[in-house]
């Protein structure tokens, strides 16, 4: 494995966004339309979390209504890990970290997506296991 490759080479900087009050059905439509496995949850320019394909599948398996189930009820909540600490951390990694570090964090957290940050915890995008595999295949 090329451990010198950094996450910033694989990060998707413009994931589709969805609001807290949008529906499960809208999340599915956005993922299908954008051919992606995660959405960034933002409201008023503030990052609140991620909705991943795993979150969607969990909601569907539990028979949540497509129109009445709000994003805020099943998303992965995020408060950025920074010098101030956090209550609900997303799996997060600095963009300068190597690919092996990202895979370790994903494995330990049991997730397929990481919030990618820069410097003082400023979010710059999302990376998925698929993007890491694509990076390693180059």
pLDDT per residue over 68-121, tens digit each?
999 999 998 876 555 444 444 567 788 888 888 888 888 888 888 888 888 766
Residue 24 reports pLDDT greater than 50:
yes
Tell whether the torsion through CA atoms of 43, 32, 28 and 50 is positive or negative.
Answer: negative
| CA distances, 106 to each of 20, 46, 127 (Å) | 25, 24, 10
Residue 9 reports pLDDT greater than 60:
yes
Q: What's the rounded Cα separation, in Å, for the pair 68 and 64?
A: 8
At 126 the pLDDT is: 86
Give the percent of the chain with pLDDT over 70.
88
Contact, 100 vs 1, CB < 8 A?
yes
Output Rg (C-alpha) for the chain, integer angstroms.
Answer: 15
In the chain, where the domains are located:
7-137
The CATH code of domain 7-137 reads 3.10.580.10
From first CA to last CA, the distance across the chain in angstroms is 11
Six token digits for residue 63: 């028979």
At 87 the pLDDT is: 44
At 125 the pLDDT is: 82
Which residues are CB-neighbours of 67 under 8 A, at least 6 positions away?
23, 24, 25
């Amino acid at each position: 494995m090329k451990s010198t490759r950094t996450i910033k080479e694989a990060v998707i900087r413009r994931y589709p966004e969805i609001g807290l009050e949008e529906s499960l059905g809208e999340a599915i439509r956005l993922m299908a339309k954008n051919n992606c496995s995660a959405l960034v949850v933002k409201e008023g320019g503030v990052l609140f979390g991620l909705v991943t394909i795993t979150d969607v599948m969990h909601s569907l398996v539990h028979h949540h209504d497509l129109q009445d189930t709000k994003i805020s009820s099943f998303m992965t909540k995020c408060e950025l890990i920074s010098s101030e600490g956090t209550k609900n951390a997303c799996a997060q990694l600095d963009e300068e970290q190597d690919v092996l570090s990202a895979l370790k964090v994903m494995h330990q957290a049991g997730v397929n997506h990481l919030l990618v940050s820069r410097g003082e915890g400023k979010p710059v995008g999302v990376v998925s296991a698929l993007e890491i595999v694509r990076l390693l295949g180059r």
